Amino acid sequence: MFKRGRLAALIAFLALGLAAVPALPAQAEDGIGMDVSGTVTIYDDSVNQHRQPLANAKVCEGGPDSNCAITDDKGRYTLTNVVGQDRGAGFNEVLPTVFPADDAQWALFLPTDYSYGDSNQDQYIPVLPGQAVTGINISVHALTTLVSSGVNGQDRVKPSAPLTTGSVKILGKKKVGKVLRVKTGTWNPSPVSFSYRWYRGGHRIAGATQKTYRLAVKDRGKRIKVRVIATVDGHKITVRSTLTQRVR
């Protein structure tokens, strides 16, 4: 039996320990996401960079067809109902990405992920269901000088050899024990390399990083998708498949 003084001390110690554990954001569910907003600007390699708002570009939660918004004439965007995905941290995260909206923009810039400050590293944002996150500003590097060539962030450029991305699909029977494989489609120019990450019900599958994936018992009743990262001219471009039907 604890004496009263020792019991009180133990309770205080446990309370202090629990208070020190950081709170993780609540898990986002389908239809219960957060809003993400910010401004997209574009700059070039000149001395003054000619930085300006990037209008009429797509900002997306995931791939180029996954919960997107179009920037206005001041480069502003707002993504609504952002759900994100669990990358293994135990809670959902999102990486807002700017995509060219047409062939003219493909000649102007390549897809660009959100990064913070001087870092070139991708900055994933924890999803806080029901809340709004502002100031998620994205800087896009132009492939040409913006002023001397007569190009600006309003999409005024004549396309020459635009980059086209492949449509990623999952092939194979959706049945436990069967092997699924990725079809990456046609790219121009051709990527130097591809990397793969498979997901089960929105959660990454441990060790599933190859072009093929054999369905396991854990997959039964779940829907599968795959994320493909292509390296093209030194840039990394992320494309995601649609969800499969439920595994039998």
Task: Determine, yes or no, domain membership for 3.
Answer: no
In the DSSP assignment, the letter for residue 208 is -
CATH number at residue 207: 2.60.40.2700
Assess whether 79 and 176 both reside in one domain.
no
Q: Is the dihedral of CA 142, 148, 153, 158 positive or negative?
A: negative
Domain, as residue range, for 104: 34-141
Within-domain flag for 19 = no
Q: Is residue 4 part of a domain?
A: no
The answer on 63 and 121 residing in a single domain is yes
Q: Are residues 175 and 217 in the same domain?
A: yes
Kindly tell me the number of DSSP H helices and DSSP E strands found in the chain.
Answer: 2, 19
Q: What is the pLDDT of residue 170?
A: 93
Residue 231 lies in a domain: yes
Q: Specify if 46 maps to a domain.
A: yes
Cα 37 to Cα 82: distance, rounded to the nearest angstrom: 11
Asked whether residue 174 falls in the same domain as residue 90, the answer is no
Query: Are 50 and 137 within one domain?
Result: yes
Number of domains in the chain: 2
Provide the CB-side half-sphere exposure for 214 (13 A, CA).
2
Residues 120, 49: one domain? yes
Sequence-ordered list of residues with C-beta below 8 angstroms from that of 206, at least 6 positions apart, any chain: none
Closest CA to 27 of 163, 103, 130: 130
Give the predicted TM-score (pTM) of the model: 0.52
Amino acid 3: pLDDT: 45
CATH number, domain containing residue 99? 2.60.40.1120
Does 121 lie in the same domain as 51? yes
pLDDT score for 137: 92
Position 159 in a domain: no
What pLDDT is attached to residue 154? 56
Same domain, 57 and 110: yes
Q: Are residues 42 and 136 in the same domain?
A: yes
Residues 40 and 135 in one domain: yes
pLDDT in tens, the chain (248 residues): 444 444 444 344 334 333 333 333 444 444 468 999 999 999 888 777 788 888 888 999 877 878 889 998 889 999 998 888 887 878 888 889 999 888 778 888 888 888 765 555 668 889 888 889 999 999 998 887 776 544 555 554 444 444 567 788 999 999 999 999 999 888 777 777 889 999 998 888 999 999 999 999 999 999 999 988 888 766 677 788 888 999 99
Question: So what's the pLDDT on residue 18?
Answer: 34
122 lies in the same domain as 42: yes
Q: What is the pLDDT of residue 11?
A: 41
Length of the chain as a residue count: 248
Is 226 within a domain? yes
Give dist(CA 226, CA 179) in Å, integer.
13
Q: 179 near 214, Cβ under 8 Å?
A: yes
Q: Give the angle subtended at the CA of 63 by the CAs of 203 and 117, to the nearest 5°.
A: 90
